[in-house]
């Protein structure tokens, strides 16, 4: 059997090269992590080296055409007995080696305990590039471990890898460092209900005096809903149609601790609605901006919304309707891609319940939910 060496930046990429070159019958002889020499001994680059071959003769002939095809050796009386025994032993050893490598190849691609974790991340719809990044790091640890790691141990390592990916992002709810809380987002994501939950927490837990401003003059139902919540919290509401109305509302609320701004729910994939909003709200004036997205939406659509709102200096996202989906990988994908933190996530319609502050631990628990039940 002819063997060939493959070097790639990730184990997954190396295995794809092997499969493309040698086909599904490829046999993995060995795999290891290698480091290239860096500048002045630093900045070493990690790669994955895989040595593989194929058992089928016709495949070898295609891969190595420069080698002449040898005629098979006939084990007859013309071959000395000692030579015959030697050839038989070599064939037996080769067959044993190939069977061993066949058994090994399945586990080398990714060990069972690692494959289980990868499947969980795939089920949660984590971005394939992130999965590759996480699994390659885990593969290195598993291969270099002095003992066989259990599935639970590998899962804990995966959680640490995800924590590392999220460690520099901001987490947690209202900071109470700024007076105006601007809640942005498209129609249908549950902005008004989310605002009510945040406001109830500020009143009941933090004992803040609050008020509401709404720019959602397009939907009477939304205004009435906000007024209902405001009455329950004994908070004033101002409806604004223009920048002048907005400035007047700020004056009326000058003695309040916190003011929640409920923006109009529109199709914010269209730039003109963003421009309309900028004409009314002063986003630079002591404002914390939060962007609300629904986990039931397509990730591509949510990405478009985030890009449209980049001008509003949104640091943290709010994700709603987690109770209506089985996967939350899009939360992680979007946070990592756009370097946005997580303020809150909601998992029901009850006010003030069904809202949780974002944290790295909460995100990881959601990804692996069910494992500790």
Q: How confident is the model at residue 286 (pLDDT cuts 50, 70, 90)?
A: confident
93 pLDDT higher than 80: no
| pTM for this model (two decimals) | 0.69
Domain that holds residue 292: 180-367
Instruction: Answer yes or no: do 150 and 189 share one domain.
Output: no
Residue 286 included in any domain: yes
Instruction: Answer yes or no: do 232 and 348 share one domain.
Output: yes
151-155, 216-220, 350-354: least confident range:
216-220
Nearest by Cα to 17 from 5, 32, 29:
5
Residue 173 included in any domain: no
Residue 89 included in any domain: no
Domain count, the chain: 3
Q: Give tens-digit pLDDT for 155-185.
A: 899 999 999 999 999 999 999 999 999 999 8
C-alpha span between 309 and 56 (Å, rounded):
57
Cβ atoms of 48 and 14 within 8 Å: the answer is: yes
Q: Give tens-digit pLDDT for 250-261.
A: 999 999 999 999
Cβ atoms of 218 and 326 within 8 Å: the answer is: no
Paired tokens of 291: 């962007």
Instruction: Answer yes or no: do 35 and 153 share one domain.
Output: no
Residue 84 included in any domain: no
Instruction: Answer yes or no: do 147 and 227 share one domain.
Output: no
In sequence order, what are the residues at sequence separation of 6 or more whose Cβ sits closer than 8 angstroms to the Cβ of residue 115? none
151-165, 181-195, 281-295: least confident range:
281-295
Mean pLDDT within 105-125: 73
Instruction: Answer yes or no: do 134 and 250 share one domain.
Output: no
Residue 174 included in any domain: no
Residue in the structure block whose two tokens are 């044993």: 96
Residue in the structure block whose two tokens are 């730039």: 271
Instruction: Answer yes or no: do 72 and 119 share one domain.
Output: no
Instruction: Answer yes or no: do 226 and 363 share one domain.
Output: yes
Instruction: Answer yes or no: do 338 and 193 share one domain.
Output: yes
Q: What is the pLDDT of residue 108?
A: 42
Q: Last residue of some domain: 98, 132, 167?
A: 167
Residue 162 included in any domain: yes
Instruction: Answer yes or no: do 257 and 127 share one domain.
Output: no
Instruction: Answer yes or no: do 71 and 149 share one domain.
Output: no
Q: What is the pLDDT of residue 220?
A: 66
Nearest by Cα to 30 from 118, 89, 94, 97:
97
The CATH number that applies at residue 40 is 3.30.110
89 pLDDT higher than 90: no
Q: Please give the DSSP secondary-structure letter assigned to residue 264.
A: -
Instruction: Answer yes or no: do 143 and 232 share one domain.
Output: no
Residue in the structure block whose two tokens are 């659509």: 301
Residue 105 included in any domain: no
- State how beta strands 3-8 and 287-294 pair: unpaired
Q: What is the mean pLDDT of the chain?
A: 79
C-alpha span between 182 and 180 (Å, rounded):
6
Q: How confident is the model at residue 49 (pLDDT cuts 50, 70, 90)?
A: confident
Share of the chain above pLDDT 90, in %: 37
Instruction: Answer yes or no: do 203 and 249 share one domain.
Output: yes
* C-alpha dist (Å) from residue 222 to 30, 82, 130, 265, 348: 63, 94, 39, 9, 18
């Amino acid at each position: 059997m002819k063997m060939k060496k493959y070097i790639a930046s990730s184990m997954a990429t190396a295995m794809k090269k092997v499969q493309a070159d040698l086909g599904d019958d490829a046999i993995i002889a060995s795999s290891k992590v290698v480091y290239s020499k860096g500048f002045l001994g630093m900045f070493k680059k990690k790669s994955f080296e895989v040595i593989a071959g194929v058992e089928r003769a016709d495949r070898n002939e295609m891969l190595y055409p420069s080698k002449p095809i040898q005629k098979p050796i006939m084990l007859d009386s013309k071959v000395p007995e000692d030579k015959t025994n030697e050839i038989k032993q070599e064939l037996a050893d080769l067959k044993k080696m190939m069977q061993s490598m066949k058994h090994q190849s399945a586990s080398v691609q990714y060990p069972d305990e690692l494959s289980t974790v990868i499947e969980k991340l795939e089920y949660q719809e984590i971005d394939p590039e992130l999965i590759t990044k996480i699994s390659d790091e885990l593969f290195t640890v598993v291969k270099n471990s002095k003992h066989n790691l259990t599935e639970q141990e590998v899962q804990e390592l995966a959680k640490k890898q995800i924590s590392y990916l999220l460690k520099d992002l901001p987490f947690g709810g209202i900071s109470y460092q700024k007076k105006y809380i601007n809640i942005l987002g498209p129609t249908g994501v549950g902005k008004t209900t989310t605002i009510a939950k945040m406001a109830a927490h500020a009143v009941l837990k933090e004992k803040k005096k609050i008020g509401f401003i709404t720019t959602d003059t397009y939907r009477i139902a939304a205004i009435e809903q906000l007024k209902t919540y405001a009455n329950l919290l004994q908070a004033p509401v101002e409806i604004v149609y223009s920048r002048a109305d907005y400035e007047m509302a700020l004056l009326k609320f000058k003695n309040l601790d916190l003011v929640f701004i409920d923006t109009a729910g529109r199709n914010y994939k269209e730039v003109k609605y963003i421009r309309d909003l900028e004409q009314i709200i002063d986003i630079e004036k002591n404002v914390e901006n939060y962007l609300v997205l629904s986990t039931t939406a397509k990730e591509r659509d949510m990405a478009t919304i985030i890009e449209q709102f980049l001008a509003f200096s949104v640091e943290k996202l709010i994700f709603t309707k987690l109770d209506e989906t089985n996967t939350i990988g899009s939360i992680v994908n979007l946070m990592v891609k756009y370097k946005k933190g997580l303020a809150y996530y909601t998992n029901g319609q009850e006010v003030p319940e069904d809202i949780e502050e974002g944290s790295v631990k909460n995100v990881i628990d959601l990804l692996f939910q069910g494992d500790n039940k």
